[in-house]
Chain A
Amino acid sequence: MKIRKSTQTTQLLAEFLKAEQEWRYGYDISRNTGLKSGTLYPILMRLAEHRLLETSWETNEEGRPPRHMYRLTQDGLRYAREQISAASVPTLGKPAFGGVGGL
């Protein structure tokens, strides 16, 4: 699956995992994650293109414009869990400059 693995994407997926089955609004996600609209929506669009995210228009309340809502699909939830667990595993690389100690 060709989705750019950025910290913002991981942050967004983690936000969706907080309430897996709930529909979420763009602005609420932006407030919770701190992602600006210009960063958030391209990621949402990419996720939707890969069928990891489903979208829906909220039923119109009296006098209020309908809102666009987002929720991870089953594939999306699986992908999000994989990504979050991969991101939380500490990378075991070589310490920079050979590490400290051994003096």
Chain B
Amino acid sequence: MSLLRGVAEGVSRFVVRHASPGSKEWAEGLAREADFVESDWKAVAWSLGSMRVLLSYREAPLRSFAELTKAAEKYAEAKRQSFGTTNALWISNLCQTLSWSVCFFLARSWQDRIGYSLLTLGYVPMTIYTLIQSRKEFDVPDRFDPASMIQYYKAGLERVCNFLAPSSLVYVYSYTLIFAGMGIVFRKVFFGLPTSLLYIGLALLLLQKRQHNLRRLEEIEALLHASS
């Protein structure tokens, strides 16, 4: 085997090893095809091109109704488990709201006052929202009712995908104010540029997550359509 072939194989193996669960099959397909490329240079180019599948994370596809039921159960279970955290979250948000408002009154410069007021205004809706969420424990359907669990899972994904849903609006509004406030309050320390970059990074992550959820929703709809 030539050195170039070795490189091509090495890259293909790397891609297969690191591909996300939903892309694994495709990465393996790409790796197999590299063996059929006649020229060594083209084989290297082929395997380098296959690295493209690493750029997007894909969950393992839902191929059957049984897999969908399992995914819905997992989602419902995660929601049940998260209620303890939601309680801690709203209390923590309340503490933040109170402490930032105290800081507002103690602040000496007008810039700090603006920063603290933005932080307070950002945490108030988050506190209210997380408090409401912590009271929704009984919305999770029963473990022995797969149909309701699937509907619950689907509704949850739809809600997250909808940018105009109240939850999305609360998050966007709150995080914008919180990051802007932090940028102002910690401007002399280290926060200015990193905060902006963090916000952009978070926004990109959210967009990617939304893309996953949209894919998952399409799979669910196709499976529900096939089973009806």
Contact residues in B for A27 (Cβ distance below 8 Å): 33, 36-37, 46
Query: Chain B: interface secondary structure?
Result: helix
Q: Which residues in chain B, 202-228, are within 8 Å of chain A measured between CB atoms?
A: 214-215, 218-219, 222
Q: Is the CB of A67 within 8 A of B36?
A: yes
Residue-by-residue, is A13-27 near B (CB-CB < 8 Å gives 1, otherwise 0)? 000000000000111
Question: A65-B35, A67-B36 are contacts. A37–B218 as well, Cβ < 8 Å?
Answer: no
Size bracket, chain B contacts? 20 to 34
Contact residues in A for B46 (Cβ distance below 8 Å): 27, 30, 36-37
Q: Closest chain B residue to A42 by CB distance?
A: B52
Q: Is the CB of B49 within 8 A of A36?
A: yes
Q: Is the CB of B218 within 8 A of A41?
A: no
Size bracket, chain A contacts? 20 to 34
Please tell me if B23 contacts chain A, counting CB pairs below 8 Å: yes
Most B C-beta atoms less than 10 A away, residue of A38, A55, A65, A66: A38
- Interface-side segment among A45-53, A78-86, A89-97: A45-53
Which B residues have a C-beta under 8 Å from some C-beta of A?
23, 25-26, 28-30, 32-33, 35-37, 45-53, 56, 58, 61, 214-215, 218-219, 222
Nearest 5 pairs of A and B residues by beta carbon: A68-B29, A38-B49, A37-B49, A38-B52, A27-B33
